[in-house]
Structure 1
Amino acid sequence: MTRRNDYESAREESLRRAQRHASALSGVQEAEEQETAANYIYMNPAQRAVYNYRCRNTTVEAGRGTGKTDGLITPEMAGCIQSMPRGTGLFLGNSIKQLFTKTVPKTLYSLERMTGLKEGVHFFRGHAPAKCNFKEPIVKPKVWENCIHFWNGFVYYMISTGVKAAANGMDSCSIIGDECRFMPEGLIKAEILPTLRGINTNHPGFDESLNPYYKSIFFVSDAPLTKRQAWLRKRREEQTPEINRKIAEMIREAQICPEIVQSPKYQRELNKLRCQASIYFSFSSIENIDILGEQFIRTMQKELTPTMFDISIRNVEKEEINDGYYANFDPDVHCYLSNDEEQLEAAQKYKKRTITQIYNGGRTLRVESESIDLNELSKAQDCCLDTDIKPGEPLRIAFDYNAHINCLVIGQTDSRSNTSVLRILNSMTNVKNTRIEGLCKMFCKYYEPHRLTCRDVIFYYDDTAKQGAAYASERHEETRFYNIVKKVLRSHGWNVTEISMGRPMSHNKKYEFLNGCFAGTQRPFLRINKENNEYLIASMENARVKEGRNGFEKDKSQEKNRVSKEVDDIEAELSTRTDLSDAFDTLVIGVRYYGSGRMIGVGMPMSA
């Protein structure tokens, strides 16, 4: 039989075979009229635009709530799976923790909802049991632990960009990346993109001139909050405007005359254009107004700061900050990610055995499989995957107190006496409705596993913590901030060592000291967990400097703005404020000059 050159026909035939196989597995015998019935799925204008173009190289920058997982990533995944049986794809994340607790569970749920495919029936995390008779990929993984295996042999590798050489030696047919603004540009270009070599096979789905999903790149992200995160915008220069214009004309032609879509010639010409095309989309949250509602947009405009509304909702490019307060801070030098292998080992305690029944050839098969329960792992919300924590060593904490928002930064040194290196493990925030008590309870819940190895907490505070306000607590008569922190932590079984630092360090001395730490001329050396401190890092990169009466000062004008309680991911608003970075300052100064409770070294005066 001669090879068919019509990719769309081959894809439709592959999809029909997949549907027949799925029906046999699930024991569903549908009537003829049900087989021909259409399953309509709503897409907003942004999602429809991306799906209609289907360019080989697609980059999407979209505001919050646009529907990136449901309407952008899931259709792309489904297209790759159905059109390239026995192929391989890369699904990128910033770390194993992010993939297992955030990205993958939501994506698989969306895939099940949109396509009808079911985990344990049509795909497995890890290698499918032999009883299922799943096809094997052409290029088999050496280790199946971080793979998703589909019924037709397609495999997605879950790749962490936080590990160098994680994709070395792989041959991929497609690459999908979510939240790409956090990924290092150098690693993507040097290690991930070179894997897009494809597979040598005669199947039409692996024809580079016919299938736009073959050797495709699909990057999706929120609007960048810092200059460093804006590397995706360079891909605008790689667009193919003339080819994109031709695709748009063919799409409009199909909208005017829908019957033309059934023409093999039309599909062949459209797909040839898609295979040569590269496009960059930029959407605001307003594109999804049918789902979000007009009231949501109005509320965001009222509650958010103008800068945050422009970035998160309108997706407007923010101005670059050249005069930053933390001038010597370099995320490439001072930030790190926890070891992925250690995180994967820590996640093994959430493994569960699953038993499913599938129907094949008139027989009922009982299939057992074992994999990490991602739903339980994401619900845990504790430090079990934070492998940078040293068991048996105390945690060091500092707060920033505000009428609208309270912030907490958590760090740890190698030992009580050795404070030359300070690792910033995590940062937490809450809004006024839960007060400081709520923030302290968040800390206690998250670090309960560590409390079993060490109950000690070293709490640094200056004279600002000795103030009091009605918003500090609902139940305690004593509303001084530092007393509330001590009471809540001790009630949850922590031994609190309180260290009063007196008057805050003057602005000009603080500026010199902190930049000295980042430059390596002052102690402690600073290392920041990139994954757990996303908004602390953004807050530091966006912090402006101004010249005050006694020298350089941090510009805190944004702290006067209200903080919205309506936003699902309220921490994003902190990227334009200095609250988190103020708590960071207190912790670093406390560790340097007060250590574990006494003045150390040659002390720089804390006040002017």
Structure 2
Amino acid sequence: MVAIMAKAKVKFLEWGRGTGKSTILAYFMLMMVKHLPRATFILVGNTYAQVLSNTLKSTKAALEFFGIYEDVDYVVGSSQGKRMGFKMPYEKPNHWKNIIHFSNGTVFQLVGLDNPNSSNGGRGINSSGILADEAALLDNEKLSINVKNTNRASKTGIYGDSPWLLSETYVSSTPLTKKGKWFIDGEELAKKQPDKYFFHSATAHWNLDNVRSDYFEYMRDSYSSELIYNAEMLNIRPKEIADGFYPQLTEDHYYTNKDNDYLESIPLCDINGDPLTNDDKHFNSKQDADVIKSEPLIISVDWGANINAMTVHQLQDNTWYVLKEFFVKSPKILDHLFIEEFLPYYSSHQNKTVYFYYDRTGNNRTANSKMTFADQAKEIMENHGWTVHNMTTGLNPSYVDKFRLLNIMLKDDGRKQLPKIRINKTNCPNLIVSLEHAEAYDRGRGIEKDKRPEQRKKVEQEHATHLSDTFDYPIFEMFWDKYVGNYVKTEDLPISTF
């Protein structure tokens, strides 16, 4: 009710799990449909894949809560509405593949920010309003250029002073990483211009009549990480790590690059009519436009009792791309990481050659076996037709050396012998949390990465330092000698350089 009664046209709703985000978005959608017939709106997500697998599913369920049914009151992804007698929007879309079409002619176009120039992108649209789910995942610059710029419908006069005309609603739990800062900055905008901006923070404590009585206790047991529980459930914003192990890491190092032509070629629903999920077979490396399929892959693995983690990389020209993350947690083991995660995802990759980096403990033989962890992983991949080159030898490097090299590379200062580093933020969300929350500390032996979160039971292990370690291994192995040979003349640069 607070959100509905707010008069400002731009709303930021920082709502935790169970607060009613899907419900309020569906309600706002219905009000936009009711008050602006034949108008065009945008339903935006970080990527088109996210819109298909998450947002569309929750939107359909919430609309049904209000008694609005697919193939009766609206159709998705087809021109069937015209044959059913639906009115047409004032601006008819070029195609209906990514359109929700309501019977009174109002349409919502599904937009992913990952490729605004594709046929599902926002450019060229004259929209009358914007709805955004999981807004903290959105890139604010892309949102402004490719979506907000479209909020300019030319037929505004026919709708009078409707509060839904040219409205913008951004809904999300509190952001876990730096890229979501723009969303919570909406709070300051609302304080300075309350007639234009509205910001509201709430948790499911406001919604106890509609969730189970033990909801918070139940969810606390479901989250093994206090940081994630506090953010997702209680809207407690994670502290920014000022003295982290990767101080040069910024939002500029993240990118998205999906093959939306491929994504638009897959059905919006499965054979049962249900929206696709992230586990659907269609969501594999074919959707990634950043991988060179004819080139080998570089993989990096960190093994442990509680989690086995992997990142996938390629060096392309003078840029080091971190393409994808994978992990499995106990009771699953190393075999599952490859057989259930890596191998199916990259089954269509043309060059089945892998350069394999890992923690040096992987060269130690395991109990009751003549094989090392690295040998086991190599055998699994080779049995599936891959050629594997184990690249890790010797002792682990010092944290000080890692710190220096990685942050020099992250500075993007144009050193020709060292590539730029870029991370696929839609394929590596947990890696980014791991990197941004990795702390540095000094126990008298020089700077180290704080590994203590790996031992804490309440820390979600994919957000501890395991994935960040997989980020370190191949970069250090491949570029340390170039760094020392070209840039370090007499002694290592002081830590204060960073």
Same fold, judged at TM 0.5 (above): yes
Give the distance between the partners of 2:193 and 2:398, measured in 1 at CA: 58
1:86–1:136 Cα contact (<8 Å) kept? yes
Q: 2:175 aligns with which of 224, 230, 234?
A: 224
Q: What code does the residue aligned with 2:448 have? A: E
Q: CA shift at 1:292, angstroms? A: 5.3
2:98–2:109 Cα contact (<8 Å) kept? yes
Pair 1:290–1:502, CA change in 2 (3 A): farther
Q: CA shift at 1:108, angstroms? A: 2.7
Q: CA shift at 1:213, angstroms? A: 1.9
Give the distance between the partners of 2:366 and 2:200, measured in 1 at CA: 47
1:462–1:501 Cα contact (<8 Å) kept? no
Which residue of structure 2 aligns with residue 279 of structure 1?
198
Q: CA shift at 1:378, angstroms? A: 5.9
Pair 1:495–1:242, CA change in 2 (3 A): closer
Give the distance between the partners of 2:383 and 2:336, measured in 1 at CA: 13
Give the distance between the partners of 2:76 and 2:297, measured in 1 at CA: 39
1:411–1:422 Cα contact (<8 Å) kept? yes
Q: CA shift at 1:552, angstroms? A: 2.1
Q: CA shift at 1:330, angstroms? A: 2.3
Q: TM-score, normalised by structure 1?
A: 0.70
Q: What code does the residue aligned with 1:221 have? A: S
Q: CA shift at 1:144, angstroms? A: 4.0
Which residue of structure 1 aligns with residue 467 of structure 2?
580
Which residue of structure 1 aligns with residue 76 of structure 2?
124
Q: CA shift at 1:351, angstroms? A: 4.4
Q: CA shift at 1:109, angstroms? A: 3.9
- The answer on 1:75 being equivalent to 2:30 is no
Of structures 1 and 2, the larger Rg is shown by 1
Q: 2:224 aligns with which of 301, 304, 316?
A: 304
- The SS at the match of 2:41 is strand
Q: CA shift at 1:89, angstroms? A: 0.6
Q: TM-score, normalised by structure 2?
A: 0.84
Pairs within 5 Å for 1:259-274: none
Give the distance between the partners of 1:299 and 1:145, measured in 2 at CA: 39
1:350–1:376 Cα contact (<8 Å) kept? no
Pairs within 5 Å for 1:198-237: 198-200=153-155, 203=158, 206-208=159-161, 211-237=162-188
Give the distance between the partners of 2:321 and 2:192, measured in 1 at CA: 47
Which residue of structure 2 aligns with residue 534 of structure 1?
429
Give the distance between the partners of 1:135 and 1:172, measured in 2 at CA: 17
Which residue of structure 1 aligns with residue 291 of structure 2?
389
Give the distance between the partners of 1:115 and 1:294, measured in 2 at CA: 26
Give the distance between the partners of 1:353 and 1:182, measured in 2 at CA: 24
Give the distance between the partners of 1:118 and 1:468, measured in 2 at CA: 57
Pair 1:120–1:344, CA change in 2 (3 A): farther
2:48–2:113 Cα contact (<8 Å) kept? no
Q: Which runs of 5+ in 1 are unaligned?
A: 1-47, 244-275, 356-371, 471-475, 565-569
Q: CA shift at 1:289, angstroms? A: 5.0
Q: CA shift at 1:299, angstroms? A: 4.9
- The answer on 1:433 being equivalent to 2:385 is no
Q: CA shift at 1:307, angstroms? A: 2.9
- The answer on 1:176 being equivalent to 2:95 is no
Q: 2:113 aligns with which of 161, 172, 179?
A: 161
Give the distance between the partners of 1:412 and 1:89, measured in 2 at CA: 38
Q: CA shift at 1:602, angstroms? A: 7.9
Pairs within 5 Å for 1:510-525: 510-520=402-412, 521=415, 523-525=418-420
Q: CA shift at 1:460, angstroms? A: 1.1
2:226–2:458 Cα contact (<8 Å) kept? no
Render the CA deviation track for 1:105-139: whole Å, top value 9, x for unaligned: 33234324543321376323244464223212112
Which residue of structure 2 aligns with residue 457 of structure 1?
354
Pairs within 5 Å for 1:186-585: 186-200=141-155, 203=158, 206-208=159-161, 211-239=162-190, 278-288=197-207, 293=212, 295=214, 297-301=216-220, 304-332=224-252, 334-339=253-258, 343-351=259-267, 375=276, 379-380=280-281, 381-414=283-316, 420-441=318-339, 442-450=341-349, 453-467=350-364, 477=369, 480-520=372-412, 521=415, 523-562=418-457, 574-575=462-463, 577-585=464-472
Pair 1:242–1:56, CA change in 2 (3 A): closer
Pair 1:293–1:109, CA change in 2 (3 A): closer
- The SS at the match of 1:592 is helix
- The SS at the match of 1:500 is coil
Q: CA shift at 1:225, angstroms? A: 1.1
- The SS at the match of 1:149 is strand
Pair 1:350–1:376, CA change in 2 (3 A): farther
Pair 1:300–1:156, CA change in 2 (3 A): closer
Give the distance between the partners of 1:308 and 1:95, measured in 2 at CA: 22
1:350–1:377 Cα contact (<8 Å) kept? no
- The SS at the match of 2:88 is coil
Give the distance between the partners of 2:325 and 2:220, measured in 1 at CA: 27
Q: CA shift at 1:331, angstroms? A: 2.3
Q: What code does the residue aligned with 2:168 have? A: I
Give the distance between the partners of 2:269 and 2:131, measured in 1 at CA: 29
Give the distance between the partners of 2:234 and 2:266, measured in 1 at CA: 39
- The answer on 1:50 being equivalent to 2:22 is no
- The SS at the match of 1:79 is helix
1:93–1:178 Cα contact (<8 Å) kept? yes
Q: 1:66 aligns with which of 14, 19, 31?
A: 19
2:321–2:422 Cα contact (<8 Å) kept? yes
Give the distance between the partners of 1:444 and 1:292, measured in 2 at CA: 39
Q: What code does the residue aligned with 1:390 have? A: I
Query: Which structure shows the higher helix fraction?
Result: 1
Give the distance between the partners of 1:506 and 1:529, measured in 2 at CA: 27
Pairs within 5 Å for 1:137-152: 137-152=89-104
1:544–1:554 Cα contact (<8 Å) kept? yes
* Equivalent residue pairs, number: 478
Render the CA deviation track for 1:453-473: whole Å, top value 9, x for unaligned: 222222112422234678xxx
Render the CA deviation track for 1:515-555: whole Å, top value 9, x for unaligned: 12212435233221121011212221222222343432212
Pair 1:431–1:161, CA change in 2 (3 A): same
Q: What code does the residue aligned with 1:307 have? A: L
1:400–1:583 Cα contact (<8 Å) kept? yes
Pair 1:240–1:421, CA change in 2 (3 A): closer
Q: Which runs of 5+ in 2 are unaligned?
A: 493-498
1:409–1:426 Cα contact (<8 Å) kept? yes
1:127–1:148 Cα contact (<8 Å) kept? no
- The SS at the match of 1:231 is helix
Q: CA shift at 1:429, angstroms? A: 1.6
- The SS at the match of 2:311 is strand
Q: What code does the residue aligned with 2:90 have? A: I
Q: What code does the residue aligned with 1:449 have? A: S
1:536–1:580 Cα contact (<8 Å) kept? yes
Q: CA shift at 1:433, angstroms? A: 1.4
Pair 1:96–1:517, CA change in 2 (3 A): same
Give the distance between the partners of 2:178 and 2:266, measured in 1 at CA: 38
Pair 1:555–1:482, CA change in 2 (3 A): same
Q: What code does the residue aligned with 2:133 have? A: D
Q: What code does the residue aligned with 2:385 have? A: G
Q: What code does the residue aligned with 1:448 have? A: S
